[in-house]
């Protein structure tokens, strides 16, 4: 049996510039951090010689990979030529909440399957293979940031080159600075999940022309400013950039915000939050806020009447194997 653990992510600035229609024209950049909320994948040889058993929000028992409904399971199993296996997926947070869970699932599944068949994986391979699977093979209207954040972990700056290459850099914040940043970020669940594809499809079309393109270019410039503010330890400026970027992001496509979400941000800022943004494509999921120490109790009190808080910290490892019985020689060979 192999078990992998792959983090979800919080994207601070630059989302949208990682979509192929934009970065192949302009290049793009994102600052994000992986967090200590995870997707877990466990893979084991099937007890039944003619059954693939897949357990996620649904349960599938099929005799052939072509019969699998879940597209990521289906394509990964076919790509690696797996015989009958049992795979179980679990997660700390529901899908559709803006934390990149679909790409964390892809990275974790690839990591587990490659280990199961005896293949080593580095972080670049896992990220690029997950991008190829989701974007090229399955045609999802998404970008590359989530796959890289899931594979690499940590607080990082990602640059998306016009030729498709991705450059990964750490954001150099002191240990004390990281602790301050972690303690100052608060996350609240709006209670709404959403399918990101419709918003991302519209955004992908919009950001290559007109005012939306100019807004996206401005977000890229702000991403570099945000990275500098973090490395300088200017966290109040970081909070303000989050807020400015959110106001711009709302102009990129319809359905990104709502009256309820706007009211949540207004309430938080009235009670001391420096800034924040809605995570993911928009429409629901989690609200991220930067809140100075002296305002956290007040913000928690007023926001808890509207949304559920989720405490979190940073993940520094990325996708890892947390169990591999190959190492003890007791595994079942695929």
Q: What is the total count of domains within the chain?
A: 2
Residue 299 lies in a domain: yes
Q: What is the pLDDT of residues 131-148, one digit of tens each?
A: 999 999 999 999 999 999
Kindly tell me the number of DSSP H helices and DSSP E strands found in the chain: 11, 12
Residue 30 lies in a domain: yes
Residue 331 lies in a domain: no
**Domain interval for residue 97:** 2-172+316-324
CATH code, domain with 220: 3.30.70.890
Q: What pLDDT, on the 0 to 100 scale, is given for residue 208?
A: 80
Q: What pLDDT, on the 0 to 100 scale, is given for residue 283?
A: 77
Q: What is the pLDDT of residues 20-69, one digit of tens each?
A: 999 999 999 999 999 999 999 999 999 999 999 999 999 999 999 999 99
Coil/strand/helix, residue 139: coil
| 130 plus 271 within the same structural domain | no
| 197 plus 105 within the same structural domain | no
Residue 320 lies in a domain: yes
Residues 151 and 305: their CA atoms lie apart, in Å, by 35
| 212 plus 140 within the same structural domain | no
| 128 plus 192 within the same structural domain | no
Name the residue among 254, 255, 161 with its Cα closest to residue 212. 254
| 78 plus 209 within the same structural domain | no
Q: What pLDDT, on the 0 to 100 scale, is given for residue 198?
A: 60
pLDDT tens, residue order, the chain (334 aa) = 999 999 999 999 999 999 999 999 999 999 999 999 999 999 999 999 999 999 999 999 999 999 999 999 999 999 999 999 999 999 999 988 999 999 999 999 999 999 999 999 999 999 999 999 999 999 999 999 999 999 999 999 999 999 999 999 999 999 999 999 999 999 999 988 766 666 667 777 778 888 989 999 999 999 999 999 999 999 999 999 999 999 999 888 777 888 999 999 999 999 999 999 999 867 789 999 999 999 999 999 999 999 999 999 999 999 999 999 977 655 555 5
| 149 plus 213 within the same structural domain | no
| 90 plus 234 within the same structural domain | no
Residue 137 lies in a domain: yes
Q: Taking the complete model, does pTM exceed 0.85, yes or no?
A: yes
CATH code, domain with 107: 3.30.230.10
| 10 plus 121 within the same structural domain | yes
> What is the dihedral sign for C-alpha 236, 146, 173, 220?
negative
| 149 plus 247 within the same structural domain | no
| 142 plus 202 within the same structural domain | no
Element (H, E) at 179: helix 175-184
Residues 246 and 242: their CA atoms lie apart, in Å, by 6
């Amino acid at each position: 049996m192999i078990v992998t653990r792959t983090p979800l992510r919080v994207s601070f600035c630059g989302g949208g510039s990682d979509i192929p229609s934009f970065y192949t024209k302009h290049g793009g950049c994102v600052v994000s951090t992986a967090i200590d909320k995870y997707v877990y994948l466990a893979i084991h040889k099937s007890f039944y010689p003619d059954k693939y058993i897949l357990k996620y929000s649904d349960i599938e028992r099929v005799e052939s990979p072509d019969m699998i409904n879940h597209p990521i399971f289906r394509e990964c199993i076919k790509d690696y030529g797996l015989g009958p296996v049992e795979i179980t997926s679990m997660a700390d947070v529901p899908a559709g909440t803006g934390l990149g869970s679909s790409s964390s699932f892809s990275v974790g599944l690839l990591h587990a399957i490659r280990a199961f068949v005896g293949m080593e994986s580095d972080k670049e391979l896992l990220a690029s293979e997950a991008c190829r699977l989701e974007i090229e093979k399955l045609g999802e209207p998404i970008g590359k940031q989530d796959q890289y954040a899931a594979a690499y972990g940590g607080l990082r700056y990602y640059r998306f080159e016009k030729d498709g290459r991705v450059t990964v850099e750490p954001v150099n914040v002191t240990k004390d600075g990281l602790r301050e940043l972690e303690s100052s970020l608060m996350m609240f669940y709006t209670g709404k999940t959403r399918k990101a594809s419709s918003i991302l499809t519209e955004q992908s079309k919009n950001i290559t022309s007109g005012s939306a393109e100019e807004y996206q270019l401005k977000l890229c410039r702000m991403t570099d400013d945000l990275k500098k503010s973090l490395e300088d330890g200017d966290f109040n400026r970081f909070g303000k950039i989050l807020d400015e970027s959110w106001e711009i992001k709302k102009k990129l496509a319809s359905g990104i915000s709502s009256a309820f979400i706007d009211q949540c941000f207004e309430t938080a800022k009235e009670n001391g939050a420096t800034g924040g943004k809605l995570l993911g494509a928009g429409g629901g999921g989690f609200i991220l806020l930067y809140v100075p120490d002296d305002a956290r109790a007040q913000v928690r009190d007023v926001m808890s009447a509207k949304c559920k808080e989720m405490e979190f910290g940073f993940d520094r490892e990325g996708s890892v194997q947390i169990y591999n019985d190959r190492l003890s020689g007791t595994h079942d060979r695929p």
